[in-house]
């Protein structure tokens, strides 16, 4: 896809529909079907995400009685949540995914489920998908230990099935907690459906309980909003309205509000969403430090922004990017030089974003590695270079199917 942009003096518009949060949607779907397993039939979800990940999960859950092999395709969240779901519902089946999914480790979650007492085996490489589930009527353990600096989705998967365990579950989190807001989001949604919990220091306790019927409305996706924040950083006299985003959001990626403020964007919360615009007379910093431990999905967008605005930046808390849809750290290191930047690991876990001296832009194709966030993050570059080509643009269906349509309302797309 070739993007082309003609500078405009003023952009004052609305993004009429931001995709609903797939993080909230996927959790709500799992809770809904766990509740049905407990004979609670009246949990309703409003504004469910149209992201492909959510469609995959919804299809698997709604058709589970007719499926012999569950295929999570390329959806990491789906694979992790379904791993716990299939274990607790005692399905004798296999869970698989794409070739890339089979390269992403699942052993921390499988090890934890085995600690509880579930019978799960690997069909190919130890520690990686596909996995097989077997019925097991042994008494389940109530205390497990799991490293907290891995994917928070492993922990969320365990939390959601905890109320269904005969004696509940105590989870001891070892080490620094990564993506803590997503664990809090899980607990908040569980609490909305009647589940009580305690979290003291690094120990979470959940007793046996029944999910209660309720109606849950999914908020818009702050991750999707981050790409429009990036646009505002580039375009003076730009004012955008983004719907259905709220100040008390449980989504970790609402940290874009604070991060973008450091880059000159102000956020005004109103009743049904937000207005974003540039701060008047703002001077961009030349050096800045970011920690993405709670919001790793923002890292690619902020990296591209820093390169294009000539800001030297230090990134921490991005270790989990290595096990995403692609190795996002390697992807950034490969593609940032095409727009004048470089990303270097200066010490373990600490990366420096800087500009290439005497860089001359040559129109080129940005490789996206089938990663939706690479597509959307690098699309921002059109506002500096006026033309840029994005490989595999359809990858955006994973989280923001209407992204190119929304962007085309602002730029001229060829």
| 354 close to 312: Cβ distance less than 8 angstroms | yes
Which of 294, 297, 371, 406 does the annotation list as catalytic?
A: 297
Tell me the torsion sign for CA atoms 30, 32, 33, 34: positive
Judging by DSSP bridges, how do beta strands 203-206 and 169-174 pair with one another?
antiparallel
Q: CA 253, CA 228: separation in Å to the nearest integer?
A: 13
| 49 close to 21: Cβ distance less than 8 angstroms | yes
Record the tokens describing residue 173, joined without a space: 């989190």
Alpha helices in 212-263 (DSSP H): 222-234, 256-261
Q: CA 343, CA 329: separation in Å to the nearest integer?
A: 8
Taking the CA atoms of residue 110, residue 111, residue 116 and residue 120 in that order, the dihedral angle to the nearest 10 degrees is 40
Q: CA 239, CA 243: separation in Å to the nearest integer?
A: 13
DSSP 68: S
Record the tokens describing residue 204, joined without a space: 């979470």
Q: CA 399, CA 78: separation in Å to the nearest integer?
A: 13
Record the tokens describing residue 299, joined without a space: 């890292």
Active site residue 297: yes
- Looking from the CA of 313 toward its CB, the CA atoms found within 13 Å total 28
The reply to whether omega before 130 is within 30° of 0 (cis) is: yes
Which position has the token pair 């840029």?
A: 388
The residues annotated as belonging to the active site are: 297
């Amino acid at each position: 896809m070739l993007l082309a942009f003609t500078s405009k003096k003023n952009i004052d518009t609305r993004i009429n529909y931001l995709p609903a949060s797939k993080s909230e949607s996927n959790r709500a779907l799992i809770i809904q079907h766990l509740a049905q397993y407990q004979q609670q039939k009246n949990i309703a979800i409003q504004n469910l995400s149209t992201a492909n990940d959510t469609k995959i999960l919804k299809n698997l859950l709604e058709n589970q009685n007719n499926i012999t092999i569950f295929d999570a395709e390329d959806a990491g969240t789906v694979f992790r949540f379904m791993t716990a779901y299939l274990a607790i519902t005692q399905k004798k089946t296999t869970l698989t995914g794409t070739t890339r999914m089979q390269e992403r480790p699942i052993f921390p979650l499988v090890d934890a489920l085995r600690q509880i007492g579930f019978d799960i085996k690997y069909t190919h490489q130890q520690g990686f998908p596909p996995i097989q589930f077997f019925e097991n009527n042994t008494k389940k353990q109530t205390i497990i230990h799991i490293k907290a600096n891995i994917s928070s989705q492993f922990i969320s998967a365990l939390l959601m099935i905890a109320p269904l365990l005969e004696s509940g579950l105590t989870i001891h989190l070892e080490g620094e907690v990564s993506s803590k807001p997503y664990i809090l989001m899980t607990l908040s949604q569980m609490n909305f459906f009647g589940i009580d919990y305690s979290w003291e220091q690094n120990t979470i306790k959940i007793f046996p309980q029944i999910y209660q019927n309720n109606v849950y409305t999914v908020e818009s996706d702050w991750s999707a909003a981050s790409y429009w924040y990036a646009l505002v950083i580039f375009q003076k006299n730009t004012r955008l309205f983004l719907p259905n985003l709220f100040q008390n959001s449980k989504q970790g990626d609402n940290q874009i509000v604070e991060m973008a403020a450091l880059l000159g964007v102000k956020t005004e919360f109103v009743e049904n969403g937000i207005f974003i615009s540039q701060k008047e007379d703002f001077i961009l910093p030349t050096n800045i430090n970011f920690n993405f431990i709670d919001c790793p999905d923002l890292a690619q967008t902020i990296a591209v922004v820093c390169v294009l605005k000539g800001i030297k930046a230090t990134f921490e808390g991005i270790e989990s990017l290595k096990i995403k849809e692609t190795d996002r750290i390697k992807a950034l290191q490969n593609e940032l030089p095409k727009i004048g930047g470089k990303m270097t690991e200066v010490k373990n876990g600490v990366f420096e974003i800087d500009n290439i001296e005497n860089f001359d832009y040559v129109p080129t194709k940005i490789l996206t590695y089938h990663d939706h966030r690479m597509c959307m993050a690098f699309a921002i570059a059109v506002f500096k270079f006026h033309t840029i080509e994005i490989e595999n643009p359809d990858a955006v269906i994973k989280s923001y199917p209407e992204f190119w349509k929304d962007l085309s309302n602002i730029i001229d797309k060829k």
